A and B are shown apart, each in its own frame.
Chain A
């Protein structure tokens, strides 16, 4: 059995054959209340009224009430009046259905008697019956009733007031619990615009004016045809239990509580929403079965009443990793759940991760404090982009370590070159200058190995690709084209032959040079003592020259690398668009100087010194690496990595923040504002089906709750199932929760009960629990210009 506000069909405008008494040819055929009853049951109508023109069919009401059984469609007393506006100067009347709160035969008699006495007193003939609005008020001022005038079609309330006092007409509708009937869907906006022009600012709520259509059936045998012989009526539905109070709530909040049956049919495709949970023999939870609305389920209660416990039990039962049920230390194996698609209860239902948004109390602020928006990314279906962004930072990290490794490696070469032991004696100089002779070293020919390798690659690639080009399945060749390919292949083959000869020649030259070198070595070895000493000294001189050349080469390399290092921007960012307004940014900022970090490890260095100069001095020993004995490359790398550890690690966990616009990000906004934007974003984005939020109001401003969150929830709840733990009455009442689960804790036994807003007794209970509940109910009444919701 559903214990939440669900939709029911309503038809408060059905005629009986009594209408023939007051209107000529008004009803077709004979009316039979039992025939109508069966038709209503067949069409699943739960609440109806018999509304004849200016008269009440007392017998029909009696028959229905006498034979009423539990579960039958509920009958409210009603009548359709011809209302005159004498001050308008027009003789035309408009029709309005009046529906009374009463539903007992005694009241039928009383109301009927009042009507008959009025017309008798005024001596109005049966077929001429009309009434003015003041008489209507006087007649029924002790009763609660709805005023539902025609506003389109024929007999519209607008007709007598046009060119007279439309404002009065609007007040009629605005100041009474009322709705417009017989307005075409396409004309609604026109009515709203017309109303808005004369409404005060306080009342400019476009969707506040209720529109509803009933069958206006005039032939019970052809029910639900409209009027006398029209098409089948398109039913309207109202949310709640079939009662006068539900209609009142529907007229107060039509956007949330009145829908065409066709819209309700769509809403009732429940997918695999959570249907219910049963608690059996739990040590701390009273046995109960909670059924859930596919729309908004608000979980309320005082402190330690079990709100968050229920929230976390549900989280666990849908296998959500963020459920914190363990902290309660209770056994929930006897709590079973089922979805709308299940026939039986089960211990757990597994949903896909992206189907669920699950936000624990305080989660949102934590996301910003921890600079991690992964849950938002996850629940917005952007995890692949997120992974790609993390890969980007892995590459950035690798790039940074590469540049440091390269720098220290080149520094190592410089350090080794400058600190290698080389001996060049005075006697070497004497020997070199000695008059004895040597055969000078033979120079190498130009090294062409790289060039040959590259040419080999080109030739092979051309031949290989030409073969593939020739047999590719996606094109064919004419004979001329085939000839070009053959000629091209021959050209390449010819060049390959020439190239082979060139390599052979080169090899021959290399071979010859090597042989000559050996000849020279052998001749030098046979020189006299002075000559051999001169040769040895020349060899040492050659090594010295090479060493000096190496130092310059390395110095050039290190200078270039130092410039690159000093100007290197190690940070970066990646953006993941969540929606048109919000982007998640992953960022590693280049806030720290790499050079500064490297200098932090060197003692005696001047911060104004450039890196190149510092490394030369370090290699020469004019500066020292802090706390290490040698200025070796290994020590420099070790010290540098220690100093930039924080930077390197930042790539593993880039800062994550929300970007709202070019200038505005979560970094420069308050935690409250960020929480609001986060919640708005996560609710608007993604393809989740079920949303769980535990006490969102803790970090949200009241303005956001009233201006945005409530409207967001009102919109979302017809697309997704929402479970919301809250102690904020605005969210429950303005959000128009379909299901209010109240939690109470009586001496450590927790009880969960279900309430609905449209039941008067329930309203009081809700007000007692929610701080300011009464005020919010009254505010809501004021907003919708209804005298009072709680009477």
Chain B
């Protein structure tokens, strides 16, 4: 089962998030996360709830050419938040191996 590669491209005023299912199908439309003003994660969350149905884990990548996540505290917090969200997503996806393991635990 292929992971979905999630590429987060960090720019000064936005983070562009792209999804690649790696199965030859077209990528999902990317999500633009504006980082000026309040941060609205709802469009991303909506996209992720759809992806939950595919039962594929996310594989996270960042393109931060200007190292904004290191120098800008707001971008840094947004990146940490995104990581927490992706982590939570992957925890809701159980691989077949994990399912077998869970069964053995009982």
Give the B-binding residues of A (Cβ under 8 A): 435, 437-440, 442-443, 445, 505, 508-509, 511-513, 515-516, 519-520, 523, 526
Question: Is there an interface contact between A520 and B41, defined as CB atoms closer than 8 Å?
Answer: yes
- Which 10 pairs show the lowest CB-CB distances between chains A and B? A515-B88, A440-B40, A519-B84, A509-B49, A439-B39, A437-B38, A523-B81, A512-B92, A438-B38, A508-B92
Residue in B38, B48, B89 whose beta carbon sits within 8 Å of that of A440 in the complex: B38
Please give, as numbers and ranges, the residues of chain B lying within 8 Å of A523 by CB-CB distance: 77, 80-81, 84
Name the residue on B nearest A527 (C-beta): B77
A785 to B92 Cα, complex, angstroms: 113
A440 to B33 Cα, complex, angstroms: 12
Known: A440-B39, A512-B92. A519 touches B81 (CB 8 A): yes
A696 to B43 Cα, complex, angstroms: 90
Question: Is there an interface contact between B88 and A437, defined as CB atoms closer than 8 Å?
Answer: no
Question: Is there an interface contact between B49 and A445, defined as CB atoms closer than 8 Å?
Answer: yes
A511 to B41 Cα, complex, angstroms: 17
Question: Is there an interface contact between B52 and A508, defined as CB atoms closer than 8 Å?
Answer: yes
Tell me, rounded to whole Å, the shortest Cβ–Cβ distance linking B88 to chain A.
4
Question: Is there an interface contact between A442 and B45, defined as CB atoms closer than 8 Å?
Answer: yes
A515 to B48 Cα, complex, angstroms: 13
Tell me, rounded to whole Å, the shortest Cβ–Cβ distance linking B14 to chain A.
14
Interface size class of chain B, counting residues whose CB lies under 8 Å from the partner chain? 20 to 34
Question: Is there an interface contact between B38 and A519, defined as CB atoms closer than 8 Å?
Answer: no
Name the residue on A nearest B74 (C-beta): A437
Known: A435-B37, A439-B39, A442-B41. 8 other contacts (CB 8 A): A440-B38, A442-B42, A445-B49, A509-B49, A512-B52, A515-B91, A520-B41, A523-B81
B97 adjacent to chain A (CB < 8 Å): no
Known: A439-B39, A440-B41. A512 touches B84 (CB 8 A): no
Chain B 48-85 near chain A by CB (<8 Å), digits 1 or 0: 11001100000000000000000000100100110011
Question: Is there an interface contact between A437 and B85, defined as CB atoms closer than 8 Å?
Answer: no
Please give, as numbers and ranges, the residues of chain A lying within 8 Å of B89 by CB-CB distance: 512
Please give, as numbers and ranges, the residues of chain B lying within 8 Å of A437 by CB-CB distance: 37-39, 74
Please give, as numbers and ranges, the residues of chain A lying within 8 Å of B84 by CB-CB distance: 519, 523
Tell me, rounded to whole Å, the shortest Cβ–Cβ distance linking B41 to chain A.
6
Please give, as numbers and ranges, the residues of chain A lying within 8 Å of B81 by CB-CB distance: 439, 519-520, 523
Please give, as numbers and ranges, the residues of chain A lying within 8 Å of B37 by CB-CB distance: 435, 437
A445 to B45 Cα, complex, angstroms: 10
Known: A439-B39, A440-B39, A443-B42. A519 touches B88 (CB 8 A): yes
Known: A437-B74, A519-B81, A523-B81. A512 touches B38 (CB 8 A): no
Question: Is there an interface contact between B42 and A512, defined as CB atoms closer than 8 Å?
Answer: no
Tell me, rounded to whole Å, the shortest Cβ–Cβ distance linking B102 to chain A.
15
Question: Is there an interface contact between A512 and B49, defined as CB atoms closer than 8 Å?
Answer: yes
Known: A445-B49, A520-B81, A523-B77. A511 touches B39 (CB 8 A): no
Please give, as numbers and ranges, the residues of chain B lying within 8 Å of A505 by CB-CB distance: 52-53
Name the residue on B nearest A519 (C-beta): B84
A435 to B36 Cα, complex, angstroms: 9
Name the residue on B nearest A535 (C-beta): B38
Name the residue on A nearest B77 (C-beta): A523
Chain B 86-102 near chain A by CB (<8 Å), digits 1 or 0: 00110110000000000
Question: Is there an interface contact between B38 and A439, defined as CB atoms closer than 8 Å?
Answer: yes
Question: Is there an interface contact between A516 and B53, defined as CB atoms closer than 8 Å?
Answer: no
A513 to B42 Cα, complex, angstroms: 10
Tell me, rounded to whole Å, the shortest Cβ–Cβ distance linking B27 to chain A.
21
A131 to B96 Cα, complex, angstroms: 134
Tell me, rounded to whole Å, the shortest Cβ–Cβ distance linking B100 to chain A.
18
A512 to B49 Cα, complex, angstroms: 8
Please give, as numbers and ranges, the residues of chain A lying within 8 Å of B48 by CB-CB distance: 512
A438 to B48 Cα, complex, angstroms: 21
Please give, as numbers and ranges, the residues of chain A lying within 8 Å of B91 by CB-CB distance: 515
